[in-house]
Structure 1
Amino acid sequence: MKIMMFVLLSLPFGNGEVADYETYDKELAQVSGETIHNVINTHFQTSFSFAATGDVLIHDHLYEDVETESGYDFISRVDEVAPYLQKQDLVFMNQETPIGGEDLRLSGYPMFNAPLEAADLLEYFDADIVSFANNHTLDRSTEGVERTADILNEKGIEYVGANTSPEDAERKRIMEVDGVEVGFLAYTYGTNGIPVPEGEDHLVNLIDMETILSDMEDLRDEVDMLVVSMHQGVEYEPYPRDEHVAQFEQIAEAGADIVLGHHPHVLQPVDIYEREDGGETVIAYSLANFFSAQQDLDTKLGGIIEFDVNHKQGTGDTTVEGVRFMPTYVHSEEYDNFELIPLADADEYGLEDADGVYQDVSDHMQSYTEELEIVEYLE
């Protein structure tokens, strides 16, 4: 196919005279359809930022520390970090605990239930979608799942990995950003030793590779990008075990663009996995705690992982590029005065050898790939 381009303009000369159409009625070029297609693919694309965090884990020490006469003020404790999420086009977080409120009895470890204001916290972080597939999903049984879903719906926050009904379980979680469709799936290894109630298998998505691969196949063709969240691994271990690496890589080969790991409560490295089809999958084996009351140094460290997503309008190809990680730190005075801050600022809050800790986190997160950029602050 040839495209004929003509200038059919009546333009004035410097003396004010107007040229006739024949002067400018000329063929500028004969451009093939293939050339135009390549130009569109090269120059016409949609780009947006996507960010993810680890566990929002509301311990009793945390909600007791932020309690006021009128409720629970989590928001004032995250002001130093929240803007780095609020600037993103799409935000994913792991909501580790039910948000059932005082009617379901507030509690911390080992059977969690957070105040309703925990949903205000997610809203303040500008979370678009949260995973609720974790080992605490059933800590308040069916009612805890339903109440959590209700409060998230009120806040306009999507959830994935837990469901209020069989119909909800069939609902595909697809988020749209500037016309680009991003699909989400989430699964957990178990439910804190609590059996799934008989006849309510829909409540939580349990890890079963056959099911996961089937779900991915069903969703893959409907979306431009696929994100899979896996709640598994061994708590407090700094590296994933071989069997977990194999699972994550199997999910990558099945077509996931990003695989996000949760549960160990400590940071594990990020990898950029090269698939057999020539594409790449970003794997974050564990994003650790984001905001919690755990006291060991490794459990106070977390972060925000940020991706540049580019979608070519001509081919429909979507790529994940520019992967960055901003380390964070939960400062506290034992179990008082919790505050979420960038790790780069931790020396101002009295963290011993803060520069050394920052360097250790950087080296650790890059131990599988140096393509991951460690930044003090997200721009």
Structure 2
Amino acid sequence: MIRILMFMMLSWPFGGEVDSAVHEAYAKDIGPVSGEKIDHVVSTYFEKSFTFAATGDVLIHDHLYEDVATESGYDFISRVDEVAPYLKNQDLVFLNQETPIGGEELRLSGYPAFNAPLETADLLEYLNADIVSLANNHALDRSTLGVEKTTEILNEKGIEYVGANASAEDAARERVIEVDGIEVGFLAYTYGTNGIPVPQGQEYLVNFIDMPTILSDMEALRDAVDLLVVSMHQGVEYAPLPREDHVIQFEQIAEAGADIVLGHHPHVLQPVDIYEREDGGETIIAYSLANFFSAQQDLQTKLGGIIEFDVRHQVNGGETAINGIRFMPTYVHSNEYTDFELVPLADAEAYGMADAADIYSDVSEHMRTYTDELEVVQYLE
């Protein structure tokens, strides 16, 4: 049986025959056959894989930072301990950082013009964020200084960002993250900035939704990466389903070569879809990942989640594919505007949620409105 498996691996084309250099290295590396050796050979010479997770809005209201205030600062971290492990297990993590992180120097504030404590960056780091989108309607709530301060502290934490930029040079920089030799590219755009104008000569500050620009950016990045993720900040707030024109726009981005399209802004969950492109490929579209950690009080705005993708890449010039999609619903518990805590929705009954099982069932059904290939799970492994 082992001989058959090893022969299959030698001859399995994965989109083309293994070149002589790979074949020679592989032959030297076989050695005594074992399950561990087979796994090593497959991962080194034939296929690589990783998990990618994305969440919704980290939306730091004043009620939230006031609730976590201590004598020495702001302790967001203790309020996400129940969910953080599910992100720490991931190989690549993306979040939407909805508010500027300017700290007290730029005056802390909540809705409608946000500015979060510097400890928000500690929260992102604790949640294992590799990259965050800054392209949202609050990006300019503290104007140029807010963008500069936010990008500065993210750089200090080693967290990549996309969608807002500290300079023209920063805007020209491709956002590509390598995971075990697999190149993942990110683009992010917002519909607007709540009427706050971009300062003249600083058009680089925020990436706005403009389809010709988006398609041009995608064309420039597509061939340089193995997986392309596009984040779109738009939609009707509190609407359970995407508007038709937004669906058309997301599908246009899919046809242009995006592998994953992530939606933000509605603050509530909208379904996931698997869009079949004309080229025969598929694009995963999450129309809205809702709030992840915020102080909004309506039930639907307290529900969010983590979407997890199994990404597999065929070595030696092969294709990249997404082989599994899971969604773990989450819930922000609070006693009105105190005692905020982010927990798996599956545990919400222990935090006083009435009809928790029914709500979990409703969320599961809602997220699968467009496809039954999405697996909704109580907990990610």
TM-score w.r.t. length of structure 2: 0.90
* Alignment correspondent of 2:148: 146
Q: Percent identity?
A: 77
Give the Å deviation of 1:37: 3.7
SS in 2 for 1:238: coil
Within 1, Cα distance between the matches of 2:300 and 2:354? Answer: 13
Within 1, Cα distance between the matches of 2:99 and 2:12? Answer: 51
Pairing 1:213-228 to 2, within 5 Å after superposition: 213-228=215-230
* Alignment correspondent of 2:35: none
* Alignment correspondent of 2:36: none
* Alignment correspondent of 2:308: 306
1:72-122 deviations in Å (ceiling 9; x for gaps): 000000000000000100000000000000000000000000000000000
Name which of structure 1's ranges 202-211 and 306-315 shifts more when overlaid on structure 2.
306-315
SS in 1 for 2:329: strand
Q: Does 1:160 align with 2:136?
A: no
Within 1, Cα distance between the matches of 2:13 and 2:262? Answer: 34
* Alignment correspondent of 2:235: 233
Q: Is the 8 A contact 1:263 1:286 kept in 2?
A: yes
* Alignment correspondent of 2:282: 280
Give the Å deviation of 1:233: 0.3
SS in 2 for 1:216: helix
Cα distance 1:33–1:301, how it changes in 2: closer, same or farther (>3 A)?
Answer: closer
* Alignment correspondent of 2:352: 350
Within 2, Cα distance between the matches of 1:334 and 1:186? Answer: 33
Q: Is the 8 A contact 1:90 1:177 kept in 2?
A: yes
Pairing 1:149-298 to 2, within 5 Å after superposition: 149-298=151-300
Amino acid at match of 1:76: S
1:100-157 deviations in Å (ceiling 9; x for gaps): 0000000000000000000000000010000000000000000000000000000000
Q: Does 1:126 align with 2:128?
A: yes
Pairing 1:98-113 to 2, within 5 Å after superposition: 98-113=100-115
* Alignment correspondent of 2:331: 329
Give the Å deviation of 1:193: 1.1
Within 2, Cα distance between the matches of 1:268 and 1:198? Answer: 36
SS in 1 for 2:81: coil
Cα distance 1:350–1:166, how it changes in 2: closer, same or farther (>3 A)?
Answer: same
1:2-54 deviations in Å (ceiling 9; x for gaps): xxxxxxxxxxxxxxxxxxxxxxxxxxxxx999936458699510000000000
Unaligned regions of 5+ residues in structure 2, if any?
Answer: 1-6, 20-40
Within 2, Cα distance between the matches of 1:37 and 1:321? Answer: 19
Within 1, Cα distance between the matches of 2:277 and 2:302? Answer: 33
1:220-251 deviations in Å (ceiling 9; x for gaps): 01000000000000000000000000000000
* Alignment correspondent of 1:48: 50
Pairing 1:7-26 to 2, within 5 Å after superposition: none
Amino acid at match of 1:246: I
Within 2, Cα distance between the matches of 1:36 and 1:308? Answer: 21
Within 2, Cα distance between the matches of 1:33 and 1:175? Answer: 29
Give the Å deviation of 1:173: 0.1
Amino acid at match of 1:74: F
Give the Å deviation of 1:320: 1.1
Q: Which has the larger radius of gyration?
A: 1
Amino acid at match of 1:35: S
1:153-172 deviations in Å (ceiling 9; x for gaps): 00000000000111111000
SS in 1 for 2:363: helix
Within 2, Cα distance between the matches of 1:33 and 1:60? Answer: 57
Amino acid at match of 2:217: D
| Richer in strand (by share) | 1
RMSD, aligned CA: 1.7
> How many residues end up aligned between the 2 structures?
349
